[in-house]
Amino acid sequence: MRIGLRTVKTAVGAAVAMFIVQALGIANWWVAGVLTVLAVRGTTRVSFRLALHRIIAAIVAGAMASVFYLLVGFNPWAYGLCLLFFFPVMVALRMTEGIVEGAIVATVILTNGLVNRTQLTGLLIIVLVSSAVGVFLNLFMPNVDDKIQTHQTAVTSVMIAALQSMQEELGDGVDAQATDGNGSTAADRVWVQLAQAKEAIDHGRRWTFQHYDNQILAENDYYRAYFEMRNHQYELLRTMQTCLDEGNGQLEEREALHDIIAATAKLLGEETPSATLMTAVKKIKRNLLQNPLASSNDGLVMRNETLLFARSLGELLNTKRQFALVVNAQK
């Protein structure tokens, strides 16, 4: 049986909160344990918002419960009426996370069968203590940087492999339908590699969201921006491979594109793509626009696919370049 960090934090926090409230001589100290269990969350930012919502919910629920119990009596009908009005108020305030805590406060008042300043003050202190303990424990979150960086490496590696497979498709004298020992063409390998890239990107983004939510003062969005950049490049690589599929690997400026793809594969992990490389892509696009149009339908299709391929390749390089410029500007 595996016991996770959150389980340990919850158990320790509940006990600590009850000890604190009990030491303060406040009745119903056990409530602090229940509220602390509800306070421990998976991310730090969420716990701060939740703490505020719980405190407000406790005040609102305590006030409503006091009014209904004094008017209707300490009975289930009064409790039901209290919740009937309390729930919509919390929804209107967009503080639904505090509903359960508010209901617990109303339940404790009903169980005690009395309404006085001492009890209400004690319940407010219980909520404050349990919220503070929950927030404190949520400051201790596992470091997910290593997991994110693992997915970063995986994305870069598999994208480089996809570019190398495209390079193979554009090679001189290469049959686009030729298969390897596993019966796969270069195009087949590209699509498999792109699927792997997307999987790594999605995993990385999920860890990135958790990383961001665990930051309190820092507003470092580097990881989120990185995976957004790679996701855009993934879409561009899909477009490029579709162009190769439509043209059966026979694109115009094939030799030049082959060399640029080879260079791109080597530089994909670098901070900033070579300006020379981007100039080479612009030259290909300029040549394509200046060359006479083909007379055959197949020739026109090849021209269009080559243009789209070159534009996507240029955007792929520029996307990484713009990302690097933004990152460097923030250093």
Q: Hey, what are 158's tokens? A: 């598999």
Angle subtended at Cα 196 by Cα 144 and Cα 242, rounded to the nearest 5 degrees: 135
Within 10 Å of residue 48's Cβ, how many Cβ atoms?
A: 17
| Amino acid 39: pLDDT | 79
Distance (Å, rounded) from C-alpha 272 to C-alpha 319?
10
pLDDT tens readout for residues 19-71: 999 999 998 899 988 888 887 765 555 667 778 888 899 999 999 999 999 99
pLDDT tens readout for residues 72-128: 999 999 999 999 999 999 999 888 888 888 999 999 999 988 888 888 999 999 999
Give every CB contact of residue 262 below 8 A, 6+ residues apart in sequence.
164, 167
Mean pLDDT, the chain, whole residue set? 82
pLDDT tens readout for residues 237-288: 999 999 888 877 677 787 888 888 888 888 877 666 667 788 888 888 887 7
Question: What structural domains and CATH numbers belong to the chain?
Answer: 5-137 (no CATH), 145-330 (1.20.120.940)
Average pLDDT over residues 315-327: 81
pTM beyond 0.75: the answer is: no
| Amino acid 18: pLDDT | 94
Long-range CB contact pairs, 321-324, < 8 A, 24+: 321/272, 321/273, 321/278, 323/225, 323/226, 323/229, 324/271, 324/272
Average pLDDT over residues 153-167: 91
